[in-house]
Amino acid sequence: MLTTVPKGAGPMVASIIRTIFVQPDTEHVFTQFHEVTRMLGRSHPEVADMLEDAKDDLLAFCQFPFQHWRQIWSTHPLERVNKEIERRTYVGTFPNPAALLRLAGHVRIGQHDE
């Protein structure tokens, strides 16, 4: 999305979009989403169109209890798995392709084969 706006406007557009995700409840999330798309529709209509097209996917987290929202937004677990795969691949600690698939297939960090 940020590739469609001038480089100088990127941080501002990203900050505006982030305001959608820091709302206290579902009603406010949807209200803020509509406000953000209205605001960006004037200055960056292509970004507003992208947001509207992705609305269902972007706001899917609202279907879960509020206490889970933060974990849903976070990509930290995925980043940890990717770094571990990169580290192990670099040092060559995979004895066979099945070992790589077991690591890549783990849902949670901390699950280890015995």
Residues 12-71: tens digit of each pLDDT: 999 999 999 889 999 999 999 999 999 999 999 999 999 999 999 889 889 988 888 877
54 and 88 fall within a common domain: no
Task: Pick from 18-27, 82-91, 92-101 the range whose average pLDDT is largest.
Answer: 18-27
Looking at the domain assignment, is residue 111 inside a domain? no
- The answer to whether 33 and 58 have CB atoms below 8 angstroms apart is yes
Is the distance from CB of 23 to CB of 64 less than 8 angstroms? no
Instruction: For residues 96-111, give the mean pLDDT.
Output: 63
**Total domains, the chain:** 2
25 and 44 share one domain: yes
Residues 64 and 81 in one domain: no
Note whether residue 112 is domain-resident: no
Q: How confident is the model at residue 109 (pLDDT cuts 50, 70, 90)?
A: very low
Which residues, including other chains, have CB under 8 Å from residue 96's CB and lie 6 or more apart? none
Residues 37 and 22 in one domain: yes
In a domain, 114, yes or no: no
12 plus 58 within the same structural domain: yes
Pick the closest to residue 43 from 17, 18, 21 (CA basis): 17
**Residue pointed to by tokens 């899917």:** 60
Residue 46 falls inside a structural domain = yes
Domain of 87, in residue numbers: 76-105
